[in-house]
Amino acid sequence: MSEIPTEPASENRSAIETFLRDRGAAAMAHPGGTLLEHLIRVSRRLAEWGARPEVQIAALCHATYGTDGFAPSLLDLTDRAVLTELVGERTEALVYLYASCDRAATYPRLRGGERPVFRDRFTDADLQPAAEDLRAFLEITAANELDVFRHNEELATRYGPAMYRLLEPVHSLLSDAAWDAVRRDLGTSSEA
């Protein structure tokens, strides 16, 4: 079982946002404006849902290493220590978990319930995240996708129903606020 360290995340949002801006996030196009605007919105949504500070900060940094759905990265994997110094080991590990998810291999495994095996797209290794880390991953996933869909109707129409079907089997791992938002924003489109 993979367990992510538990020290608190940095709450120095200004320094983190400056880091992201300096790495080009404010100049990268993304649904709803720029990548930086998206990252801020995702982090704020998690705050509204009552997520722990380290999850909010991980959401703010979730695209630092790129993702399986957004290839550009702000920092090379060989420089993980740079992000760790800024946000703390626990938060950086959550950022890595999110970024490393091989969606084609991992997403179908979520349908099996609460203990899916993840595939790390950087190493091709399989791992089973601790329950707390899986919850953080799912909360960031929900907030991220809801923000993308809110700002891109084509993507919402094309992928919204599949995202709902992905999250439904593991909805008990989401906060009530997150699941309510998923049901409200995606639930009706998935039932059609």
Instruction: Return the pLDDT at 6.
Output: 42
Instruction: Return the pLDDT at 112.
Output: 73
Number of domains in the chain: 1
Question: Average pLDDT of 111-140?
Answer: 91
Closest by alpha carbon to 53, among 100, 88, 103, 99?
A: 88
Within a domain: 161 = yes
For residue 138, the enclosing domain spans 13-185
Within a domain: 76 = yes
Quick one: CA torsion of 192, 184, 33, 39, rounded to 10 degrees?
-120
Within a domain: 6 = no
Within a domain: 42 = yes
pTM here? Answer: 0.91
pLDDT band at 176 (very low <50, low <70, confident <90, very high): very high
Within a domain: 39 = yes
Closest by alpha carbon to 5, among 91, 128, 99, 117?
A: 91
Give me the CATH number covering residue 93.
1.10.3210
Instruction: Return the pLDDT at 7.
Output: 43
Within a domain: 169 = yes
pLDDT band at 114 (very low <50, low <70, confident <90, very high): low
Within a domain: 1 = no
Within a domain: 2 = no
